[in-house]
Chains A and B, each alone.
Chain A
Amino acid sequence: MTGTPSLAKSRPDLPFAITMSGICKRFGSVQANDAIDLNIASGDIHGIVGENGAGKSTLVSILYGFYTADSGQIKISGTPYTNNSPADSIAAGIGMVHQHFMLVPNFTVLENIILGHENDRNLTRSMEQARHMLMNLANQYGLDVNLDAEVGDLPVSLQQRVEILKALYRNAKILILDEPTGVLTPQETEQLFDILRSLKQQGVTILLITHKLREIMAVTDCVSVMRGGRMIAHLDTAKTTPEELAELMVGRPVQVQKQWHQTQTGAVVVKVENIHLSNADNQNLLSDISFTVHAGEIVGVAGVAGNGQSELLNILAGITAPSAGAITYHGHCITAEAPANAQTIKALGVAHVPEDRHASGIVLPFTAAENAALGYEDNVSHGYKNMFISPQQLNARCANLMQEFDVRPPHPDLKSSLFSGGNQQKLVLAREMSASPSVLLVGQPTRGVDIGAIEFIHQQLINMRDSGCAIILVSVELDEIMSLSDRIMVMNNGQIMGMVNRSDANVKDIGLLMAGVQ
């Protein structure tokens, strides 16, 4: 199975839609792509999986013309092809839907689609021409979207459709999708896959970059696995399993999903009552949030990104003050009238692994040792009023944490930005868990983290729970919520849509709650 460079084509009459051979790309001392060979059959949905840093994005960026390969050859439908810019790729029939959409929010759908491709100097006329073409496209592929709606008003799933339409309007015969499901509910993901299948029927070749193995299994025909800048394997999706893919990605056997098990819960340690938050424009970001968390329990907060989970986490951690309501930790009440800062809340035994690791959780230019003390400066300082920081204590503390949490490489004086996402996150987790908190707030613990580290981080969270810690877990990865939580709280538009016991939960119902259907 490994090392087979080509697969039986589903349509032997056509040449490969994309042939990449011997692609190499270096960034400084890092070989991001090392002699990559990739053949993609016309009309296939082809998945590329790999951990962060495996070289997927580099490869796709070379194909789309953001980077030029150091060596190697690309052929599109059998003809050799050199691309120097995304414009060349568009001309060659390659379209790309980026992870972060490239849309002008205050333009209408139509305006966004024709931007840069106006057929006529007269805007009205070119809009009418485009409208006509787009109606046809929408009918052909089942891509319904109101062409006159402002993009900023559309939900993300429709914005994604606009991106796909935009590519098709530019005559894309090959469509690259980079992590397309990160912002979607399970139902929306299914709808996207239906669209992809219908595009495939019409002969569009699709390249899907993702780290979600479930999606690879659900929608692709073939899958290529990358690891450490190399292409490790090409497989027929029908003939492989998620376990095999995960093992190929990591290079050793891994447990893809933790099996959830019931445990004994203790007394209520967190009580949240009627939390409200409104912004400067008096819009409600959070309304009437109330729930409790027991010792020895993980409450998972599920929801599509941007539905108030981040704000809730910040309020619980003392970073934002709520507009109204109260939070009680172990009987210590924090109200909107008497808010507490992060330091005070920490003193109540609450630790916080923030959602945005790079902005909040660590200071990137700091050394690992310095970051291991962020928010816990008391543990490494001495002298009058703990005024001085001792580098010995700083390093010793960090070295301990690194050993305990298997942070690699174990060098406390290395700059934090030089660690991989997984190791940065392990360091944050180590720092927060080392305070032996009774309440742990965790946001997106495995975002940008490789599979090997995910396994480790999940195990640490479960161990904390089993030792009696109350954990509030915010994650946009529903799989993560499902495999860790004892209870699942679903949020939509700043409100709690439902609280479901894990034993009664299923993905379909939670997906509906995430979409705001009660």
Chain B
Amino acid sequence: MRRPLPAWVDISIMPLINIAAAFVVAGIIIALIGENPLTALSIMVKGAFVYKGALGYTLYYTTNFIFTGLAVAVAFHAMLFNIGGEGQAMIGGLGIGFVVLSLDPILPPLLVVLLAIPVAAIFGALWGIIPGWLQARRGSHIVITTIMFNFIASSIMVWLLAGMLMAPGQMSPETRHFAEGVNLAQIHHIANALGWPMARSPLNLSFGIAIIALVAVWVLIWRTRLGYIIRATGHSEKAVIYAGHDPARIIIITMAISGGLAGLMALNEILGVQERVILNFTSGYGFTGIAVALMGRNHPFGILLASLLFGALYQGGAELDFEFQTITREMVLMIQGLIILFSGALALMFVPTAERIYGLFSAHETSASDPSKLGKDRQDG
């Protein structure tokens, strides 16, 4: 007999089972090409956490995933499927470029950075608002429009970086370097300055901003009036109209917040590492954010864990590619793909089995104090 799983199993055990299944399948494939899966796993774990600077790299990737994962999750609470994180992040980076390139000759670096941070969010938000408005007021489906806006953003970036914004006297499509000190400090610089030796890694202050964003999104969704209405909109637009709010307005606001979070991802890449605007700095983080949000059940804490996992996969996978002749970058992508497949598309595959097992173990304690009995009235029409 099947019994519904308690929430804690659903949130903690089931994702672990899914990840384990993905690793088992990946391990079989690695064994098939003649490598030892356990060695590969150990190198991956060491590569992500143990080697010198490894943790820094892992957290640097994690930062990207936190922003894009949160962007998807916020929209999802209003039942909006924002596929446009990629484009919104690009436009956020463009916003940083505009602020820094025009202001760094005249303003002190710190001030320029403090201006660039909100502008990244605002630009990303604007790129989210347009599809949001089209959905809310014109009924254009958000999935279609956000995908199209990724292409538009990408084209705009090429057009500007190969034209107007291209550094003078250069052939590659990127802007000039930002002025000295216009950046988000890297953590190892700060640590070394404070006297703690730390290996080099691109991890920078935007990781802190990502953590703040996690908390802010939690507060927004579960502790504010707006979050309450966003969630209500996601479940029932009719109920929102009944309560006297305009769902169209809520959709636009939600997409602004979602786009803003995606835009902040550019902080990590542009202000934290590159210190200039380059093409394709988003390299698919916006799309992976969908998997992160899915795996994290659209909850900030889940997104933190999922981002860590994906960060570790990115970094550990790079190490795997480096260590083994036979395991290429594509192989690593396949492992990531398997994890997305098992924890995303097949997320519920093991649930019926788990419910049956749970039913076996808890059959004797069902009868007396069972809250799900309250739902019995719904069985009858």
Among B2, B3, B225, B242, point to the contact of A377 (Cβ < 8 A).
Answer: B225
Instruction: For the complex, give the distance between the alpha carbons of A461 and B184 in Å.
Output: 63
8 cross-chain pairs, A with B, having the tightest CB-CB distances, nearest first: A343-B244, A53-B377, A375-B243, A342-B244, A420-B377, A30-B376, A360-B242, A57-B381
Interface flag for A391 (CB, 8 Å): yes
Give chain A nearest CB distance to B79 CB in angstroms. Answer: 11
Chain A hits for B232, CB < 8 A: 363, 366, 374
Interface flag for A356 (CB, 8 Å): yes
Among B219, B235, B245, B381, point to the contact of A343 (Cβ < 8 A).
Answer: B245
Give chain A nearest CB distance to B139 CB in angstroms. Answer: 14
User: Total number of A-B contacts with CB less than 8 angstroms?
Assistant: 127
Per-position contact with A for B215-253: 1 when CB-CB < 8 Å, else 0? 000010001111111011001101101111110000000
Chain B hits for A366, CB < 8 A: 231-232, 235
B374 close to A362 (CB less than 8 A): no
**Footprint of B on A, CB under 8 Å?**
26-30, 32, 52-58, 99, 178, 229, 317-319, 341-346, 352, 354, 356, 359-366, 370, 373-375, 377, 381, 386-391, 409, 414, 417-422, 450
Chain B hits for A377, CB < 8 A: 225, 228-229, 243
Instruction: For the complex, give the distance between the alpha carbons of A501 and B220 in Å.
Output: 52
Instruction: For the complex, give the distance between the alpha carbons of A517 and B368 in Å.
Output: 56
Give chain A nearest CB distance to B221 CB in angstroms. Answer: 11
B374 close to A29 (CB less than 8 A): no
**Footprint of A on B, CB under 8 Å?**
1-4, 219, 223-229, 231-232, 235-236, 238-239, 241-246, 366, 370-381
A414 close to B370 (CB less than 8 A): no
Known: A58-B380, A418-B371. A386 touches B241 (CB 8 A): no
Known: A56-B380, A346-B244, A374-B243. A389 touches B223 (CB 8 A): yes
Instruction: For the complex, give the distance between the alpha carbons of A362 and B240 in Å.
Output: 9
Most buried by B among A344, A362, A414: A362
B371 close to A356 (CB less than 8 A): no
Instruction: For the complex, give the distance between the alpha carbons of A409 and B372 in Å.
Output: 12
Chain A hits for B376, CB < 8 A: 30, 32, 53, 229, 420
Instruction: For the complex, give the distance between the alpha carbons of A359 and B237 in Å.
Output: 8
Instruction: For the complex, give the distance between the alpha carbons of A387 and B243 in Å.
Output: 17
B239 close to A360 (CB less than 8 A): yes
B246 close to A356 (CB less than 8 A): no
15 A-B pairs, CB-CB below 8 angstroms?
A: A29-B373, A32-B376, A52-B377, A52-B380, A53-B378, A54-B380, A57-B381, A178-B381, A341-B244, A343-B243, A345-B244, A377-B228, A388-B219, A389-B224, A422-B377
Most buried by B among A56, A346, A420: A420
Chain B hits for A345, CB < 8 A: 244
Chain B hits for A419, CB < 8 A: 374
Closest A residue to B4 by CB, please name it. A28
B381 close to A387 (CB less than 8 A): no
Closest A residue to B242 by CB, please name it. A360
Chain A hits for B381, CB < 8 A: 57, 99, 178
Instruction: For the complex, give the distance between the alpha carbons of A125 and B90 in Å.
Output: 66
A388 close to B225 (CB less than 8 A): yes
B380 close to A387 (CB less than 8 A): no
Instruction: For the complex, give the distance between the alpha carbons of A58 and B380 in Å.
Output: 6
Among B238, B242, B375, point to the contact of A417 (Cβ < 8 A).
Answer: B375
Known: A28-B3, A414-B371. A352 touches B380 (CB 8 A): no
Give chain B nearest CB distance to A149 CB in angstroms. Answer: 29
Give chain B nearest CB distance to A157 CB in angstroms. Answer: 21
Most buried by A among B238, B370, B381: B381
Instruction: Using A53-B380, A363-B236, A418-B375 as known contacts, list a sample of 14 further A-B pairs with CB atoms less than 8 Å apart, ordered by residue number in A.
Output: A28-B4, A30-B379, A55-B379, A346-B244, A352-B242, A361-B239, A364-B236, A366-B235, A377-B228, A387-B226, A389-B223, A391-B223, A420-B374, A421-B377
Known: A366-B235, A387-B226. A417 touches B243 (CB 8 A): no
Chain B hits for A389, CB < 8 A: 223-225, 227-228
A363 close to B239 (CB less than 8 A): yes
Chain B hits for A373, CB < 8 A: 228
Chain B hits for A32, CB < 8 A: 376, 379-380
Known: A53-B380, A366-B232, A418-B372. A342 touches B224 (CB 8 A): no
Give chain B nearest CB distance to A407 CB in angstroms. Answer: 11
Chain B hits for A420, CB < 8 A: 374, 376-378
B244 close to A359 (CB less than 8 A): no
Instruction: For the complex, give the distance between the alpha carbons of A56 and B242 in Å.
Output: 33
A29 close to B370 (CB less than 8 A): yes
Instruction: For the complex, give the distance between the alpha carbons of A125 and B371 in Å.
Output: 58
